[in-house]
């Protein structure tokens, strides 16, 4: 009897999802807003057939990420990253994910290119989130 093939996994990466949000601790950040950029990398169950019905719809994932950026303001970008991770981890076929929230116009009185918080999550087989690492 031939061996049973092991499940195949792969990644989908969405880079540079950009939208205006009102996240931050300072009053000016919450009233004026600023641009946030999010990168998401998903480890997924690889589709076994060449049909959209068997694949992860990354367009839907992208729209959900942007909805978080433009949605209810939070004080910390760590919280924003967690909310995005919680939402996307509930997507069938996602095994783990990494979310990076960039705040390129963070209110620092220094010259810098970017501020980014990066969050890693593992999704357990039951679909629940594993511990962040």
The CATH number of whichever domain residue 114 belongs to comes to 3.30.1130.10
Domain span holding position 23: 9-122
**Residue 111 within any structural domain of the chain:** yes
**Residue 78 is assigned to a structural domain of this protein:** yes
- H helices of 1-133, in order, are 27-32, 58-70, 77-89
- Is 72 marked active-site? no
Identify the CA nearest to 77 among candidates 106, 54, 45: 106
**41 assigned to some structural domain:** yes
Within a domain: residue 96?
yes
Of these residues, 23, 68, 102, 103, which one is catalytic? 103
Question: Tell me: the pLDDT tens digits for 73-108?
Answer: 999 999 999 999 999 999 988 999 999 999 999 999
Task: State whether residue 97 is helix, strand or coil.
Answer: strand
- pTM value is 0.86
- Lowest average pLDDT, out of 1-5, 44-48, 83-87, goes to 1-5
> What are the structure tokens assigned to 7, written together?
């499940």
Number of domains within the chain: 1
């Amino acid at each position: 009897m031939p061996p049973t093939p092991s499940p195949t996994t792969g990644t989908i990466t969405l880079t540079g999802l950009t939208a205006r949000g009102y996240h931050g601790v300072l009053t000016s950040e919450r009233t004026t807003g600023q641009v946030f950029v999010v990168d998401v990398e998903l480890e997924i169950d690889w589709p076994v057939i060449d049909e959209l019905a068997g694949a992860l719809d990354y367009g839907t994932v992208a729209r959900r990420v942007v909805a978080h950026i433009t949605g209810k303001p939070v004080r910390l970008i760590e919280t924003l990253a967690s909310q995005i991770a919680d939402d996307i981890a509930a997507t069938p076929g996602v095994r783990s994910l990494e979310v990076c929230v960039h705040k390129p116009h963070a209110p620092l009185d220094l010259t810098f290119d970017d501020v980014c918080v990066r969050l890693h999550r593992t999704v357990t087989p039951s679909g629940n989130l594993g511990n962040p690492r």
